[in-house]
Structure 1
Amino acid sequence: MTTQAGRIPNLSLAQRAWNIRRKALLMGEVQGQGYIGQALGIADVLAAAYFHALDYRPEDPEWEGRDRFLLSIGHYAIALYAVLMEAGILPENELETYGMDDSRMPMSGMASYTPGMEITGGSLGQGLGIAVGMAMGLKRKRSPAFVYNLMSDGELGEGSTWEAAMSAVQHRLDNLICLVDFNDQQADGKSTAALATGDERAKWEAFGWHAQRVNGNDLPAVVAALDAARNAPDTQPRVIIFDTTMCKGVPFLEAREITHFVRVEPDEWGRALAVLEEGYPQ
């Protein structure tokens, strides 16, 4: 379980997810743009990962015994920054530096800049291969740590993803958990109209993975899936496909046809925050 070092109030996972969404919106407002749709959609998964599943020390982001959380999708950095602030790894007073010169939070994630960011993502389809290497290294060290790799549904169309998937099975990497954000939205349209078609869970199972598919915005289902992945008794690598809703929590943004990169007018940031405020979980 997460080491909190006594510095963070005891909040529910729903409240954590709400805080992550709020921080992402505030950062988006700083720049007037950002991958807000993805951040709002994946917030529940990040809350459950960082405040239920992962083992880490906020005061020591490079602690050798930590579970590694890899962000394959570098443009989701705004979402990861939000959860790193919520976890106490990044100070919240840096929020207003998002995307600025000399900020530790560039708009696309870079490991050399940001505490708690394990890899520089963004060249899509590479994260799972890096995760396989990390998981192999931890196995050789006899470390009990897990490697979590968050990737997008668009990366299911990358050949390198499936090469890595085969390697993970070959090396029996039961310390590897792949998290797929399936929001069915890419820059040019729906993922299911590109290469992420058919029964994705069945594909992973055919490659030899322990696979689950759940609603990524249903927190109890997310928690149960993370527990099942971590505690699976076999030597297979594990994958969870999370079906998520872009812009979750802000209905007027959810309703937009194009949400891969949301165009938010200056007056809409305050409106989005107000709508989110109305839905604060008790």
Structure 2
Amino acid sequence: MNIDKLKEISKELRKDIIEMIYNSGSGHPGGSLSAIDIITYLYFEKMNIDPKNPKMDNRDRFVLSKGHAAPALYAALAKKGYIKKDELNNLRKIGSILQGHPDSKKCPGVDISTGSLGQGFSNAGGLALANKIDNKSGNIYVLLGDGEIQEGIVWEVAMSSVQFNLDNLVAIIDKNGIQLDGRTSEIMNVDPLKERWQSFGWNVIECNGHDFEDIEMAFSDSKKVENKPTMIIANTVKGKGISFMEDNVEWHGVAPSLKQKNNAILELSK
């Protein structure tokens, strides 16, 4: 693993996130920035995928269950070669392949349309079960928000994934502590996360979601336990990489002004 290369890519993708949300005039910068290091690791280090053969039979699949963080996924898809870089300028525009939430019928590289919180996790569980039944080798990776796991459907999937021994399912919680209306601890406390998922029978690993060495270790450890799905709790910072956005509730779903956009790009260029 080339950590310096991954850091360089994640910084580039952060710039793309800010630019596309500014251009669209709407979007979700905070949760996109907190998730981008995990997404960078998956797309540029971990997953068995091929942009030239996007429907490869035994490929790994990624499901962005927290679909509002679509700018992070789109930035990675453009960098990886699934879509043209120029498409990022069309985020949320009428007729664009880059909708406010990922659309599998419009955007190459998107396997599952997401947006309604919790349903992407359910879809990921179904994909993992289908791969088991069909004896396919591909793993299913799914990224959830910590506010998202307040949804009841999440805990149905938590039970069924253990029931069906889905050890080809690796879920990641982007634990940045903030959701739309405030902090998760104040709205509907999701802690203690590790103990809760362990009680459902999952293999649970914690990591620093912005440290590539720690991320690598977590994903390596996910394969050490057989017959259990794995939950990686990635401790992150909302708006990571841009000082005035970091750990700030106000940046959940607000586009930056021109001045704020320029200041953010300047910070990321240092």
Shared topology, TM-score over 0.5? Answer: yes
Aligned to 2:269: 277
Any idea what SS the aligned residue of 1:100 has? Answer: coil
Residue 172 of structure 2 aligns to a residue whose secondary structure is: strand
User: Which whole-Å CA distance do the structure 2 matches of 1:177 and 1:255 have between them?
Assistant: 26
Corresponding residue of 2:93: 100
Q: CA deviation at 1:204?
A: 0.6
1:215-262 residue CA offsets vs partner (Å, 9 max, x unmatched): 111121111111211x22321000101111111111122264522123
Choose from 11, 20, 24 the match for 2:13.
Answer: 20
- Does the aligned pair in 1 maintain the 2:22–2:255 contact within 8 Å? no
Shift of residue 196, structure 1, vs aligned partner: 3.5
Q: Name the aligned partner's letter for residue 40 of structure 1.
A: L
Taking structure 2 as the reference length, what is the TM-score of the superposition? Answer: 0.95
Asked if residue 242 in structure 1 is aligned to residue 234 in structure 2, the reply is: yes
Determine if the alignment matches structure 1 residue 80 to structure 2 residue 73.
yes
Give the aligned partner of residue 4 of structure 1: none
What root-mean-square deviation, in Å, do the aligned CA atoms of Structure 1 and Structure 2 show?
A: 1.7
- Per-residue CA deviation, residues 21-49 of structure 1 (Å, 9 max, x unaligned), is 11111111211332111111111111111
Q: Is the Cα contact below 8 Å between 1:183 and 1:244 reproduced in 2?
A: yes
**Paired residue for 1:112?**
105
**Candidates 194, 198, 217, aligned match of 1:201:** 194
Q: Distance in 2 between matches of 1:164 and 1:48?
A: 25
Q: Give 1:196-235 correspondences, 5 Å limit.
A: 196-229=189-222, 231-235=223-227
Amino acid at match of 1:124: L
**CA distance in 2: counterparts of 1:88 and 1:188, whole angstroms:** 35
Q: Aligned partners of 1:195, 1:20: CA distance in 2, in Å?
A: 31
1:115 CA drift (Å)? 0.7
1:76-101: CA deviation from partner (whole Å, max 9, x where unpaired) = 11110011111111111212122212
Q: Give the letter for the 2:187 counterpart.
A: A
Structure 1 runs not aligned, ≥5 long: 2-9
DSSP-derived class of the 1:64 partner = coil
Q: 1:132 pairs with 125, 141, 160, which one? A: 125
Counterpart residue type for residue 138 of structure 1: N
For 1:61 and 1:54, locate their aligned partners in 2 and report how far apart those are by CA, in whole Å.
Answer: 12
Other structure's SS at 1:239 match: strand
Matched, 1:45 2:13: no
Give the corresponding residue for 2:259.
267
C-alpha deviation, 1:11, in angstroms:
7.0
Q: Determine if the alignment matches structure 1 residue 150 to structure 2 residue 143.
A: yes
Aligned length: 269
CA gap of 1:255–1:53, structure 2 versus 1, over 3 A, is closer
Judged with a 3 Å threshold, the aligned counterparts in structure 2 of structure 1 residues 256 and 137 are, in CA distance, closer, same or farther, namely closer
